[in-house]
Amino acid sequence: MRKANKEAAKKAVRDLLVAFGEDLKSPDLEGTPERVAESWLGEFLTGYAMDPREALGESVDAGDSGLTVIRDISFLSVCPHHLLPYRGVAHIAYYPGGRTIGFSRIVRLLDGYARRLTLQERITREVPVALCRHLKARAAACVLVTDQTCLQMRGVARPESRVVTTEFVGEKRDVKNLRAELGVILRDVFR
């Protein structure tokens, strides 16, 4: 868990606005440093407090269950390179290793990793690794499809571009089967 300083954050926002030549007495900017600090510390960066094991919670017996897929999970994050937000959808799948959890627990896990200053590629890797490590899944996958503000608004400025990242982890045979099954289920994503 990182220690945040709300007063220092407010001052930093004030200093940034002044550096950009903004008039802090403008009615449009009244309260902006406080709102920005609260948004960042109270919402955008709350994932640092997440413990993956706690996010996944208690598991229950899954018996001989097959593939579990939760698709089209919306999420938000912030790129650490330009401090710009990005949004997307996640598709998360796993083969239970005899245990399973509630679907909302997987969403909490995703949010815990996404609500940080982090790269899309990092989230894509952290989610299935946590499912294998803490839930003992035989194999797990994460596919993220995002609208990256860094790519769409700055630099090459390609608003129509989307970024797709994938990660498959687990037992080799199960990963092979997971790739095949998930490829069929998410055919529209990979078109």
pTM to 2 decimal places: 0.91
Instruction: Give the position of tokens 């401090």.
Output: 83
**Which residues in 84-191 belong to E strands, given as ranges?**
85-95, 99-100, 139-148, 163-170
pLDDT reading at 133 higher than 90: yes
For 2-15, how does the pLDDT look when each residue is reduced to its tens digit (9 = 90+)? 788 999 999 999 99
Q: For 115, which DSSP code?
A: S
Domains of the chain: 6-44 (no CATH), 52-185 (3.30.1130.10)
3-class state of residue 179 by DSSP: helix
Average pLDDT, the chain: 94
Torsion of CA 103, 105, 109, 111, to 10 degrees: 80
Average pLDDT over residues 17-38: 96
| Residues 76, 147 contacting (CB under 8 angstroms) | no
Average pLDDT over residues 150-166: 88
What is the predicted pLDDT for the residue at 101? 94
For the chain, give percent helix, strand, coil, nearest 5. Answer: 45, 25, 30
For 53-93, how does the pLDDT look when each residue is reduced to its tens digit (9 = 90+)? 999 999 999 877 899 999 999 999 999 999 999 999 999 99
Average pLDDT over residues 129-138: 96
